[in-house]
Copies of this chain bind each other. A is one copy, B any other.
Amino acid sequence: MTQPFVHPYLPNTAPDVKAAMLAAVGAASTDEFYADIPEGLRLDRPLDLPAPFVAEQDLVRHVDGLLGRNVSTRERLSFLGAGTYNHYVPAVVDEVINRSEFLTAYAGEPYEDHGRFQALFQYQSLMAELLNMDVVNVPTYDGFQATATSLSMAGRMSGRRGVIVASDVLPDKFSRVHDFVRTNLDLTVVPTVNGTADVAAVAALATEQTAAIWVETPSYSGAVETAIRQLADAAHAVGAVLVVGTDPVGYGVLTPPADQGADIVCGDIQSLGLHQWFGGAHAGFIAVHDDPRFVMEMPSRLFGLATTDVPGEVGFGDVAYDRTSFAHREDGKEWVGTAAALWGIAAGVYLALMGPQGMADLGETLLARTRYAQLQLSAIPGVALTDTALHLREFVVDFSAASVTAHAVVDTLRAQGIEPGVAVGEYELLVAVTEMTGQGDIDRLADAVASVVAASDTADTSTSNTEEKSA
């Protein structure tokens, strides 16, 4: 190009400035700065990239056009969950995390970044109240990582390799955890019974080689584990720890696992004030009791409150920084790096807005709507629930008695603008309801499912006895 390239993102491409800077450092051109890069490694052509949109308005038109081809769950009626949930995000949450001060900060020190330290300390503290535990980390990447790390902590603490998997685990999560821990831990899966842990079988398997028993609640199918106390006792009896993977959204009404003997509670906070973002907004928490044996195994940063030179004033800083890979490279605990701090701030704002009553109301709404959806769907001839466990937010329905595949239900309902859930087997559909799916929405789903089943009924009338399978 003959015109000089000046870009709004690059102030010093202004020709006069660039010339002045080159003169100041005594360089004829920017090429000189690359003297250490051998000629053979230099790219001798422009990168082969699409022509850019340097005018902001053209960029907007281009990207908006691409995103405009998406059809969101606001335009569809969605019962999709399986790890990412359509909960309501209060406007104040977005306002706070979109503040430039938070959005564009990074890793400043406790003085100039006091607000970040306090906001994340508050996140830790608010989660601690919800979970009834004394220590919560600055968020790690996601619930998958939080769980993998929690199990690794159990392994490091005990020097043992055994992990008993007591609940149904989301397959993708299992994949991540397995590849992460496989060098150090062996996972043994104990099949669930009626949706929840087979406590006797798990207890029977626990030995002196067991590092941890791993429980998921709500499980992959949305079942709430009600025998955590017994599982904790089984773990403790052999010197192992109980690791509970969970979604904290229900603990306004449900008893937190810590009250039932859990040693490490971990999971994802996407439900607490984060949009769905195509599954791209997750953050993981790890909560433990205030026991140095546990705390010193945590790889993430932990922000702590400290006194200052002014009596009564509180400041913040890193607790036990020496645990981390920043401090000790491969001798630190796993590693720490840029993870998901902003999502933690979001979850903190969310919990502050909700307060105890809001979380209690939310828990009740979720329990009630889940139960309602179970009743409405299982009332359809040929449709059955797969278990009678207590469910929060998600459950599986089985269409086998109606001889309709889950994929067929999905395909038919999608044509009507409904995402009815995730097919998790030939005849099984994982359905998620939240506070965003009201009675009318659930009724619409049930009506649509009933139509599909009835249509199939006409073709195949072998639907006797299906009622009995319903809860």
Let me know if A90 is at the binding interface, CB within 8 A.
yes
Let me know if A36 is at the binding interface, CB within 8 A.
no
Closest to A434 in B: B57
Residues of B near A95 (CB, < 8 A) are 100
A106 to B150: give the CA distance in the assembly, Å: 51
Contact of A64 among B8, B64, B74, B436 (CB under 8 A): B74
Contact A57 B88 (CB under 8 A): yes
When each residue 85-129 of chain A gets 1 if its CB lies under 8 Å from chain B and 0 otherwise, what string results? 000101100010000100000000000000000000000000000
A–B complex contacts, Cβ < 8 Å, 6 sampled:
A56-B90, A56-B91, A57-B436, A60-B91, A64-B74, A95-B100
Closest to A361 in B: B55
Interface residues on A, range: 10 to 19
Let me know if A435 is at the binding interface, CB within 8 A.
yes
Q: With A60-B91, A64-B74, A95-B100 given, name 8 new contacts (CB 8 A).
A: A8-B353, A56-B88, A56-B90, A56-B91, A57-B88, A57-B435, A57-B436, A60-B88
Residues of B near A436 (CB, < 8 A) are 57
When each residue 343-378 of chain A gets 1 if its CB lies under 8 Å from chain B and 0 otherwise, what string results? 000000000010000000000000000000000000
Residues of B near A353 (CB, < 8 A) are 8
A window 191-208: CB within 8 A of B: none
Residues of B near A91 (CB, < 8 A) are 56, 60
When each residue 34-78 of chain A gets 1 if its CB lies under 8 Å from chain B and 0 otherwise, what string results? 000000000000000000000011001000100000000010000
Residues of B near A74 (CB, < 8 A) are 64
A75 to B189: give the CA distance in the assembly, Å: 52
A100 to B94: give the CA distance in the assembly, Å: 13
Closest to A6 in B: B357
A8 to B358: give the CA distance in the assembly, Å: 11
Closest to A100 in B: B95
A window 433-451: CB within 8 A of B: 435-436
